[in-house]
Structure 1
Amino acid sequence: MRPLLVLVPVVLITLAGIPAQWLAVKLNLGARRWIPVLYHRAVLALVGVTVRVNGAPAAERPLMILSNHVSWLDICVLGSRFPLCFVAKSEVAGWPGIGLLAKLQRTIFVDRQARAATGRVSEAIAARLGDGDPVVLFAEGTSSDGNRVLPFRSALVGAARPSAEGRPATLQPLAIAYVAQGGMPLGRARRPLVAWYGDMDLAPHLMEVLRRGGIEVELSFGAPIAGADRKAATGRAEAATRAMVAEALNPRPA
């Protein structure tokens, strides 16, 4: 019964928000950045997700955030904090319903199998960064089981270029860790109840998350990273994210 009680208001909010966001994007209104934030906050409240935040997004612009990736919930968790844009695999654009929402979020889609597309995507990311929008890149290129951080890829990090005024782009590591559900810590064995990865089907996983609710997630923003070498900067971001995830999943006793 709980999934139905959650899904109905989520669908109603979605149907109300789609035309408002479509109009805001079409007319290039400032609301196009904040409507998704309010939408994601409402969805998290209905699903029963509590977000704890350590640190804050850097104030400097252009800003690219390099994050690990655990679940489809990551989109709502991050999107509920502040206005931003995501980079997603091209297949997402064709998913029923979700593809439309992603487009209205002004997501940048990338075909990771087509090397020739990397340049075009980098230009799109650079343009979005130049407009002042923070861009979130799930640098692992896929989602994990939530217990570890996969190696970060540096291919698209080069899109974080200096602004038109010559301000250097800022890279910031971010860690997402799902730490509890129903008031009980999520250990290694139970974390896949929230994590969505591998060949998991979305619909059953979605219904299970809605049925259980009570999810606690910790976001940790790391120190901004300077340096023009994208591979070195990506490596530093990966190390920082890995350390923050480990700290969130295995906190030291007070």
Structure 2
Amino acid sequence: MSSSDIFIGEIIGTAVLILLGGGVVAAVTLKNSKARGAGFLAITLAWGFAVMTAVYISGPLSGAHLNPAVTLGIAIKDGVWDNFGVYLAGQLLGAMLGATLAWVAYYGQFRSHLTDPEIIGDQAEKPIEGPHNGSKAGPVLGIFATGPEIRVVWQNLATEILGTTVLVLAVLTQGLNDEGKGLSILGGLITAFVVVGIGLSLGGPTGYAINPARDLGPRIVHALLPLPNKGGSDWGYAWIPIAGPLAGGALAAGIYNLAFA
């Protein structure tokens, strides 16, 4: 795989991942969406399908990492850092593109939701539990990025580390292609089911980012988009879904090298 193939593949794959993943959260959350109120089960299943779709589309080009934690885990496992930065750049740009496309798809619903006096009033009265820094989360930030139900820094961080460790360990043990550089056809399906399982089991506390690009890219888009009454992007929390997944990816690679290599 050339560097250009990797870059393009990761942009396309991560954009599809976030378009479908962010899209289901928008569908469940926003006023005048036919899927509003479908619930957390719909979200977790759709994120799994989003992973599977993105993997199969981008796999031939880049190996479909789609996640800096996966890229880090594979690099540590093999001790090879070629194209590490190319993967991360493609993933971040793809995540930003996917979030923007999800906004386009739900443009009218965003405006309807964010100009509803009841929605805005309810958000203004809702307190944030626990210590926090930076502007608080706006009423649609959850469509773009993750946030905790209860703000306990060590718990939020531990949840992201645990979820990502399971994900990357599954990728390293079950999901890689013959070259060991990306996901195989069967690996894409296995990984999709693993993501659903993580969401159902460990998604409740933080919304299971388990992917730094998945959280950071859309959070930047939320901050930049001209959304009325959008509120803050909760930058005080943003380091957790970056540091936690990266730590989980490194931990998974360490476990793999100790137990499976």
Q: Same fold (TM over 0.5)?
A: no
Question: What is the TM-score normalised by the length of structure 2?
Answer: 0.30
Q: Larger helix proportion, structure 1 or 2?
A: 2
State the structure with bigger RCO (CA 8 A, min sep 6), 1 or 2.
Answer: 2
Q: Larger strand proportion, structure 1 or 2?
A: 1
